[in-house]
Amino acid sequence: NNRINILGTEFDNFTEEEFHQLLKTDLSQHANKFIVTPNPEIVLSARENTRFSNIVNNADYVIPDGIGIIKGANMLDTPMHERLTGFDTLMFLIKQANEQHAKVYLLGAKPEVINASVARIKREFPKIDLVGYHDGYFKDDQKIADDIIEKNPDIVLVALGSPKQEFFINQYRDQCDAIWIGVGGSFDVFSG
């Protein structure tokens, strides 16, 4: 799968069906994967931050979140299949986790948002094994990472905003085989 370069960010060009199939398999294999879903704002900020840009481009899946990316690809004469949002990916992973009885860890957002997100998971996706969660306002990264590593989840959903969430995932993913994804403000939506 050749990546498509939009202003320095190298996107995978999957159909939603292809991408979801890959995630389904990854989950069943307890694979270690890092998903980033850059929107135009993130593409622009990556241009000004080499460390961030390298982390994004070295992720396993780089997914175009936003119609602006698809339009950019068309203008550059390298059209892409479709927009695949971080929120839709979050919802797919949660549904799959429920079907596969997978272990999930939630990290990020405000305390009331994470609590409401946990409540929704317990209510609507009861077969998920919710192994841990924490809000996104903490001082000691290592302590949070140690908790994640100890709980050994299949999926770690990280909602700290960009680039914070990608830096966090990049720092700790090697110590815990899981599907790691930065989901930005998605918990604020998911929590209702």
Could you list the residues that contact ligand UDP (CB under 6 A)? 108-110, 136-137, 159-162, 184-185, 187-188
- Cβ of residue 52: shortest distance to ligand UDP, in angstroms? 12
- Compute φ and ψ for 107, nearest 5 degrees: -135, 125
Could you give the CA distance from residue 132 to residue 148 in angstroms, rounded to a whole number?
7
Q: Could you tell me the two tokens for 68?
A: 């602006």
- Cβ of residue 106: shortest distance to ligand UDP, in angstroms? 11
**Closer to ligand UDP by Cβ: residue 102 or 106:** 106
**Closer to ligand UDP by Cβ: residue 95 or 164:** 164
Could you give the CA distance from residue 125 to residue 136 in angstroms, rounded to a whole number?
22
- Cβ of residue 191: shortest distance to ligand UDP, in angstroms? 9
- Cβ of residue 39: shortest distance to ligand UDP, in angstroms? 8
- Cβ of residue 6: shortest distance to ligand UDP, in angstroms? 18
Pick from 118, 120, 148: nearest CA to 130: 118
CA atoms within a 13 Å half-sphere pointing along the CA-CB vector of 107: 26
Residue nearest to ligand UDP (CB): 136
**Closer to ligand UDP by Cβ: residue 123 or 139:** 139
Could you give the CA distance from residue 72 to residue 77 in angstroms, rounded to a whole number?
9
**Closer to ligand UDP by Cβ: residue 27 or 62:** 62
Q: Could you tell me the two tokens for 190?
A: 């998911």
Q: Could you tell me the two tokens for 191?
A: 């929590």
**Closer to ligand UDP by Cβ: residue 13 or 117:** 117
